Amino acid sequence: MRPLVLGVLALSGCAPAQAPEPAISPHTEVVHRAQVQSFTCKASHGGTRASVVVQNTGADPIPHAKVFFRIGDQIVDTYLSPSTIPPGALASADRMAKPPGPCQLVALQDGRGNAVALSTK
């Protein structure tokens, strides 16, 4: 397992992690945990597509889970599917942004804006 900085996760093939803007995670309380099963960044139709699969490793569902990616110099977000992740379940998200650029998984949070602690396999 690689060490992580809460709120920023740099994985192989991605740009070095930088601190997210404060608006991404206004709450600092960590009430959920998830493990990144896969993360990819691919050039697609003149942009970059970021894809992630996470598993809820906590004891409670993660309601209205939202993921943040840095693609190039933008922060983009999208909801995971399913939007509420039961304990032990997998959820995924894809997001594309233009222009193309390096990407990172920046943060995952619940519907109340609480950070979800991320780990890697």
Domain ranges for the chain, please list them.
27-120
Tokens of 80: 């995971």
The string of pLDDT tens digits covering residues 27-47 is 556 689 999 999 999 998 899
Distances (CA, A) of 15 to 52, 92, 109, 113, 119: 16, 21, 21, 25, 18
Predicted TM-score (pTM) of the model is 0.77
The string of pLDDT tens digits covering residues 76-110 is 999 999 999 999 999 999 999 999 999 999 999 99
CATH of 27-120, one of 1.20.140, 3.30.70, 2.60.40, 2.40.128: 2.60.40
